[in-house]
A and B are shown apart, each in its own frame.
Chain A
Amino acid sequence: MTVLLRTEEVHKAYGGVQALDSCTLEVEEGTVAGLIGPNGSGKTTLFNVITGYAKADTGEVYLAGKKITNVTPDRIFALGIGRTFQLTRIFASLTVLENMLVASRHGNAAARRRAMEQLEFVGIAGHHAELAGTLSYGQRKLLELAYVLVADPAVILLDEPAGGVNLSLVNHITERIRELNAAGKTFLIVEHNMEFVMGLCDQVTVLDSGAVVASGPPGIIRTDPRVLNAYLGEDLDPENPGEDE
């Protein structure tokens, strides 16, 4: 399989804190990759470096073999990487449909039609005329996913898509991701919900103190002693989840 997204020896420090330490990660095209690790292990920092929100001190980021290190977020989005945030970031004073059109390259009828299709796909089309600030947290998560889809990105980075939402919505999000993945979309997902990660991802990478400690299929990762150590001995078996969420 082709590697679509790759980080190579990425270092990032904030003052004296080494957030990323020689972090190398590969996401193959058409897969759903998971990125897990304890709090403060550098997952979101890696997302920020990939999407241009933070500059790497050293190291490189590649998309389909093309170097995209330290490119600005607007260009990263145009190049084909969309992302959501751990805490949802929507445009509260705009309507749901206007939120979608911000991400669209055009504001014409075709763009509106496509935006409505995305809203229907995630299940909140009925709210298109409402102010986004009035949406519930779960609906905001779906809106974020929908407007990332507007530009038809090759890779979608989801930061805790199942965080803080109820089980039925987690199932709904899982289903949408599976459907998009089957249509060819590649995902990189940061998530603390081990059941969600292990059930959805083809590959899982584990970060600890900014460095990759393990990478492989979920079945292997959940029994890897380095991973268990990184999680302070917590059981990663979804049948017996003991992780902090």
Chain B
Amino acid sequence: MEKLRIKNISKHFGTTKAVDDCSIDVHDGELLAVLGPSGCGKSTLLASIAGVENADRGEIILGGRCIYSKERKINLAPDQRNIGFVFQNYALWPHMTVFDNIAFPLKMRRKPKAYIRKEVGRVLELIRLESKAFGHPRELSGGEQQRVALGRALVMNPDLLLLDEPLSNLDARLRENMQLEIRKIQQEMYLTVVHVTHDQAEAMAMADRIAVMHEGRILQTGRPQEVYEKPATEFVAEFVGTNNLIWGPAVRDLKAAFPKEYEAAGSGGRLGTGEVPQGRTAFVVRPEEITLIKTGDFARGTAGTGTITNKVYRGAHIMYEIRCVDRVLRAQLHPGAAFNVGETVGVRFHKTVPIVGGELERK
């Protein structure tokens, strides 16, 4: 069942479209990650949901209650929406203690003192900061401040929790811990969460579903695996993972859409049948779906050929860059296979994914 329905939300700043006709449904108890590069409008979208920013058009329904609708002239103030928000910079009030920061939403709801003490205590336990309850935010580390911000958002039992890149100011290890922790809390409390991030690994790790956003538009929504394996557009393919893209000729028939110059490397199985609506088809070749073969180990015509231009050791694997036909491909191989820069190798694709009807403008 949908907890949050966003319908055709748009937001302009002057002539720039920060959010352009976005529609998303978020299910009850689901964590949806909005993934996109900085400046793609994801934070504005989030601010519009919270009511911190007024959208120009569209409708937002939260838990069956319309909180914003241009047509019906509904626009609930932020304090009427019961939405928890964790800001990128945490936005903790510097003149209040940790306890007071977390207790604030309850005080505003005029809860009895005993109840406030109990609830704040519960939240402090949840975020493991009981010992720092009477410290001030400036005395806390970045990770602790982040947890306080989370606690403040949770204490009010929000209908919806919005996270605006809450982890981007933390170092890598802490970030991973917090990802797991937030995910755990979300699942335990059965929270509906919209999480905005530019980090695709973070989105993959935490989200039930991912919405990829670019230039104000939502390009694809789906489970992490779907988005990774079947990117809907070229942008999604390039942004989610470091993928290689190759382009076929402009034909109508999908069968003939694979680029001739890469035919020797193979299309990785059947292309399927169907009709390409217009233009050229892009094929996604993931770095891990490429094998390199020593010259002489393959028969002529059974593999494409390329020259290795760069080699980066990454511990668990080696990333090669291979100049092949007219572009540089990236291949991720097991460290066991040793090739050298400058070597001419055979290239084989195990799997390619066609993107039909994507945006075909090209660099």
Partners in one complex: no
Name A residues whose Cβ lies closer than 8 Å to a Cβ of B.
none
Name B residues whose Cβ lies closer than 8 Å to a Cβ of A.
none
